[in-house]
Chains A and B, each alone.
Chain A
Amino acid sequence: MTLFDGPVSFLQVSAYVGFGGVTIAICAAFVRVVVGPSMPDRVLALDLIGLLSVSLIGLYAIASGESLFLDAAIALALISFLGTVAFSRFIEWRGEEPDA
């Protein structure tokens, strides 16, 4: 698949610029997951990766013109929220430990 088929529209360029930005953001959030001094930092970074994945799917839906991908984005947005809640519950249950 070539990057642009036919005349290049502004929307396509915006979508591809967005892909680059979101990918960089996911890499930065991943660094925070690995480095993150404390557990809450890692949980927040994972939540951020979930949100960025939702935006990546949304961008892909725009770039490919398939509205079906938006349903995947809805599902991921609803479920990644649950993951964050479960992690925060785990932190609460484990008690106040600075690092582990």
Chain B
Amino acid sequence: MNSLILRSATQLLLTILLLFSFFLMLRGHDLPGGGFIGGLVAAAAVALYAIAFGYRAAQAMLRISPRALVGWGLLAAVASGFLALLQGQAFLTGQWWIVELGGGAELKLSSPLLFDIGVYLVVVGTILTMLFALEER
């Protein structure tokens, strides 16, 4: 699809969509959002790029095969479960690390966050694998 308007708009929208997908994923712990919906929005961003610039350009932008993304995502999700086993607790028990940033601010890192990142990667990888398989036909 060779449209200058779509290409110019996509360059702007890609950034907004990816930023919004990260926002959704990080907020998902106790408000609406999460890895699944964030992954869907990110996949939609890449799909838009693929429509505007061709799917080969989208593959080149990703730099990593969507199937590899699924693998890394599953690894991250399963690894988040084993972190609790290392502490002697049940599989997938939430683990928290609170990092003091100074000035009263603190960064709360957790194994649910790692699990969510895994879900995010799996969703992006799955949707893009399907999309690219359809485009190749």
Contacts and interface: CB of A to CB of B under 8 A. Distances in A.
Nearest to A79: B44
Contacts, number: 33
A89 B24 CA distance: 28
B91 interface: no
24 contacts: A68-B32, A71-B24, A71-B32, A71-B33, A74-B20, A75-B20, A75-B24, A75-B37, A78-B13, A78-B16, A78-B17, A78-B41, A79-B41, A79-B44, A81-B13, A82-B44, A82-B48, A82-B51, A85-B6, A86-B47, A86-B51, A89-B1, A89-B51, A92-B1
A50 to B, nearest CB: 13
Interface residues of B, number: 17
Contacts of A78: 13, 16-17, 20, 41, 44
Interface of B: 1, 6, 13, 16-17, 20, 24, 31-33, 37, 41, 44, 47-48, 51-52
Interface of A: 68, 71-72, 74-75, 78-79, 81-82, 85-86, 89, 92
Contacts of B41: 75, 78-79
A82 B20 CA distance: 15
User: Secondary structure at chain B's binding surface: helix, strand, loop or mixed?
Assistant: helix
B42 to A, nearest CB: 11
A86 B50 CA distance: 10
